[in-house]
């Protein structure tokens, strides 16, 4: 803990207010507040958000220490201290650099295009018994993530593993000043994250800036040899330790033998031969393992005991999976690691996704901590209380021993010696309407516990990447003015992806509004804990009670619905109820005609029932260049109508017209707010080429059976798929009842099996379809198949089916299990 005055000196800050305070937690995201008394909040500013606006909220919650770049009169904030700096991000990095300088133990800095997190986590698996290790949580490798990672360093550690990731020129030098690695690791230089660099050489030069003051650099020969000229300005004392097949490498790869389910690797280092086995065969894992072996040798850990650990390396799962559970529960699966850093991340995710007040956490022993058990489990208890966890189930001898005589106050606690003991006593009826986080070290095999909580469903699933929702939102926000608000459309079960889960992410990332088609969709969001304003685009009289009870905001599109809602509000004694007005400008679907706007405005003015929240219209063809003239006509009509509404009613309201395509193709139409729909889910409907959108949904299934087909035999109904030669046919657990269009049969559709595209053959059946996998080597029953996702994309599938991505995504049946994950 640092005194606030000391921190001010480390950042060259001007202090306003009381300086008698100590700080141990740095906060950059107001949503992740845990312990206000010892928190220092940095009011970071981005193109979309200004952290200063969250200071009143945090002050109400008990935070009293703030780093700001604007003037805050301390007299207006009793007990608070403000550290004023020119740039809050620079101050955060400056503080991290000063903190880093307090420690002289080895710091391993890791960068590269791919594999950073896996190498870091594998090194932790291999070395945690030798060192007290501090490491970056998950992928905290950005301009804000690195300082938070470094802040974890303290005197109890004797080795640090810090990731560094960049996406454009000039970023790495800032990370280097904070990390100052003594040993560097360059995993590889590949195509990933290349957008901000001129070419591969440029990216290499930026990456190795991290190692300009390091003592040693471990890297692939294939990355170093082509970039020799870029090394001329590096410190002449930097020792380059490369690995590869050539004899002039520090670590010479003498053997690489891939066997079923494992690889055998031999390295020669300083005239000694080291052989080890890893439980992986893919090229990326082999390279990452060689890098880890090189680090162990540099650290003097080259004995047989350490290399035997390579045989037991565990896959690094960087995803938090969210699944529908039994008895209306939601289950978060993080059964891959158990340490304080990842626990806090998982608890933040729990807080973000909790659909009810009831929160349960199932924890194993934390086997890899350097803290004494009493202190460790006290810290864990404090984290649980801070995140409002009501029930703790502890599994393992150490957690049971630590908590048995000191049960956490305020948390219902049950303790079990082993996972088997919990499983034997498991009763599904004891879990209902709660969010359950399952988190444990791999050796406890908590995946078996997760299965107890899962709803039973067939093996087809729609995987929803919540990170990509957030990424796509930020892609659009790059093109918005800072003042432009965002309404996110989550109608039709969030385009088939899951309304409540998607809305939870959007709420977490602070969109301004949500839009749904019907009131019952809004009700479900409210029941799931969504607090954002929700516009209902197609209300009817039967839903008025729900609209009022659940604080929904109806769209009024005709005098009939307006008068019916006014009558209802009068009966209920409601005044100034928020409503949205749709104006018809050319879509010819719903909305008040331009000729009706004067009468509408006078009606609203004469009534005390309505508070205009917004007026909007729907563009009919914003994605089509040939229709740009019509789009501008719609805009002109809308602006004239909105001006009449404002002038006659005297009310101010938001104006919005732009959808996903118009945000990019018609930036002048942003107005006060934009409505993002299909674009959030990874589809660039305007085909602009300006957006780096990522697919949110991936539809997967498995092979139920393989059949050898002889020449002359047929497949599926009507016998239209006839084979002229031997073939191998896979039956896939998916059919038109699940939302897979019948039009994709008979070679129209294609799926991905073990990385190979194969055609759909025969007629698509209700619950299954068949594919020709003759050309797929090693295919087996139970193998996973990808229907759409990264490849093939949903746009391609829709095009093959003669429809649009909207129809494909919203048509996925509810019997297909949704699995949500966040990296």
Residue of 245, 481, 708, 717 with catalytic role:
717
Spatial separation of the C-alpha atoms in residues 729 and 774, rounded to whole Å: 7
Exposure on the CB side of residue 255, measured as CA atoms within 13 A: 12
Distances (CA, A) of 542 to 109, 246, 466, 581: 61, 76, 34, 19
Return the closest-CA partner of residue 251 out of 302, 316, 215: 302
Neighbouring C-beta atoms of residue 464, cutoff 10 Å: 25
Specify which residues 2 forms β-bridges with. 23
Rg (CA), the chain: 29
Report the distance separating Cα 671 and Cα 649, nearest Å.
Answer: 20
Q: Closest Cα partner for 262 from 274, 275, 250? A: 275
Q: Which two tokens stand for residue 519?
A: 């009131």
Q: DSSP letter at 238?
A: P
474-477 LR contacts (CB < 8 Å, sep 24+): 474/48, 475/691, 475/692, 475/693, 476/660, 476/663, 476/664, 476/674, 476/676, 476/679, 476/680, 476/691, 477/47, 477/48
> What is the C-alpha to C-alpha distance for residues 748 and 599, in angstroms, rounded to an integer?
53
Nearest to 291 by CA among 305, 276, 304: 276
What is the Cα–Cα distance from 279 to 286, expressed in whole angstroms? 10
Q: Which of 5, 59, 69 is nearest to 33 (CA)?
A: 59
8 A C-beta contact, residue 211 and residue 110: no
CB count in 10 Å sphere of residue 459? 15
| Nearest-angstrom CA–CA distance, 59 and 61 | 5
Measured from the Cβ of residue 18, the count of other Cβ atoms closer than 10 Å reads 15
Give me 446's structure tokens.
Answer: 């908590």
Q: Determine whether 491 is an active site residue.
A: yes
Q: Out of 324, 491, 637, 700, pick the active-site residue.
A: 491
Rounded to whole angstroms, the Cα distance separating 633 from 797 reads 34
Tokens 């770049």 sit at which residue? Answer: 69
Reply yes or no on whether 717 is catalytic: yes
Paired strand residues for 133: 159
DSSP string across 747-787: TT-EEEETTEEEEEES---SS-EEEE-TT-TT--TT-EEEE
3-state secondary structure of 39: strand
Instruction: State the catalytic residues.
Output: 491, 717
């Amino acid at each position: 803990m640092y005194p606030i005055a000391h921190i001010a000196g480390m950042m060259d800050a001007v202090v306003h207010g009381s300086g008698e305070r100590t700080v141990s937690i740095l906060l950059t995201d107001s949503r992740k507040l845990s312990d206000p008394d010892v928190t220092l909040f940095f009011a970071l500013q981005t193109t979309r958000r200004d952290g200063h606006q969250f200071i009143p909220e945090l002050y109400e919650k008990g935070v009293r220490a703030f780093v700001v770049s604007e003037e805050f009169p301390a007299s207006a904030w009793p007990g608070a201290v403000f550290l004023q700096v020119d740039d809050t991000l620079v101050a955060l990095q400056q503080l991290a650099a000063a903190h880093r300088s307090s420690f002289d133990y080895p710091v391993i800095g890791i960068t590269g295009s791919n594999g950073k997190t896996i190498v870091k986590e594998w090194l932790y698996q291999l070395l945690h018994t030798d060192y007290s290790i501090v490491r970056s949580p998950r992928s905290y490798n950005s301009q804000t993530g690195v300082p938070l990672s470094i802040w974890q360093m303290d005197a109890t550690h004797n080795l640090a593993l810090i990731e560094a990731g960049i996406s454009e020129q000039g970023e790495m030098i800032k990370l280097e000043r904070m990390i100052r690695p003594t040993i560097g690791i360059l995993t590889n230089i590949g195509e990933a994250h290349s957008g901000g660099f001129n070419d591969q050489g440029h990216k290499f030069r930026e990456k190795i800036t991290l190692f300009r003051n390091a003592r040693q650099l471990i890297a692939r020969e294939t990355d170093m040899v082509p970039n020799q000229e870029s090394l001329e300005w590096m410190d002449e004392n930097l020792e380059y330790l490369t690995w590869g097949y050539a004899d002039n490498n520090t670590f010479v790869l003498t053997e690489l033998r891939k066997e079923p389910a494992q690889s055998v690797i031999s390295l020669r280092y300083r005239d000694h031969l080291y052989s080890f086995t890893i439980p992986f065969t893919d090229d990326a894992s082999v390279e990452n393992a060689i890098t880890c072996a090189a680090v162990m040798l540099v650290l003097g850990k080259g004995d047989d005991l350490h290399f035997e650990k390579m045989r037991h390396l565990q896959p690094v799962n960087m995803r938090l999976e969210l699944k529908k559970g039994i008895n209306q529960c939601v289950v978060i699966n993080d059964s891959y690691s158990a340490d304080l850093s990842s626990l806090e991340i998982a608890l933040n995710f729990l807080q973000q996704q909790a659909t009810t007040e009831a929160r349960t956490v199932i924890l194993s022993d934390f086997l890899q901590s350097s803290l004494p058990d009493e202190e460790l489990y006290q810290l864990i208890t404090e984290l649980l209380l801070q995140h409002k966890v009501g029930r703790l189930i502890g599994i393992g001898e150490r957690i049971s021993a630590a908590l048995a005589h000191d049960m956490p106050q305020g948390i219902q606690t049950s303790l079990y010696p082993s996972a088997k003991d919990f499983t034997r006593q498991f009763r599904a009826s004891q879990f209902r309407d709660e969010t359950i986080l399952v988190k444990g070290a791999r050796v406890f095999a908590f995946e078996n516990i997760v299965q107890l909580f899962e709803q039973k469903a067939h093996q087809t699933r729609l995987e929803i990447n919540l990170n990509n929702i957030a990424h796509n939102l930020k892609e659009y926000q790059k093109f918005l003015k800072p003042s432009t608000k965002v309404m996110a459309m989550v109608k039709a079960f969030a385009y088939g992806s899951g309304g409540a889960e998607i809305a939870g992410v959007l709420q977490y990332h602070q969109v301004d509004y949500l839009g749904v088609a019907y009131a019952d969709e809004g009700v479900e969001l409210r029941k799931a804990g969504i607090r954002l304003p929700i516009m209902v685009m197609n209300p009817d009289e039967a839903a008025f009670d729900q609209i009022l009870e659940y604080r929904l905001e109806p769209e009024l599109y005709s005098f009939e619905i307006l008068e019916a809602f006014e009558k209802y509000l009068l009966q209920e004694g409601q005044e100034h109820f928020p409503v949205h007005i749709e104006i018809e400008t050319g879509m010819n679907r719903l909305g008040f005609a331009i000729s009706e706007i004067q009468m509408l405005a006078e009606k609203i003015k004469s009534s005390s029932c309505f508070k205009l929240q917004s007026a909007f219209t729907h563009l009919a063809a914003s994605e089509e260049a040939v229709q740009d003239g019509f789009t501008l006509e719609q805009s002109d009509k809308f602006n004239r109508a909105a001006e009449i509404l404002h002038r006659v009613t005297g009310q101010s309201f938001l104006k919005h017209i732009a959808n996903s395509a118009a945000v990019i193709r018609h930036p002048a139409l942003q107005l006060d707010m934009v409505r993002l729909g299909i674009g959030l889910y990874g589809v660039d409907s305007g085909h602009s080429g300006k957006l780096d959108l990522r697919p949110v949904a991936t539809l997967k299934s498995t092979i139920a059976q393989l059949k050898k087909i002889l020449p002359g035999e047929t497949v599926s109904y009507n016998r239209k798929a006839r084979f002229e030669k031997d073939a191998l046919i896979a039956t896939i657990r998916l059919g038109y009842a699940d939302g897979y269009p019948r039009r994709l049969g008979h070679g129209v559709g294609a799926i991905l099996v073990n990385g190979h595209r194969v055609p759909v053959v025969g007629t698509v059946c209700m619950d299954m379809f068949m594919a020709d996998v003759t050309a797929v080597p090693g295919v087996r029953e139970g193998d996973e198949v990808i229907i759409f996702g990264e490849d093939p994309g949903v746009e391609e599938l829709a095009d093959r089916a003669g429809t649009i991505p909207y129809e494909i995504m919203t048509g996925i049946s509810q019997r297909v299990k949704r699995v949500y994950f966040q990296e």
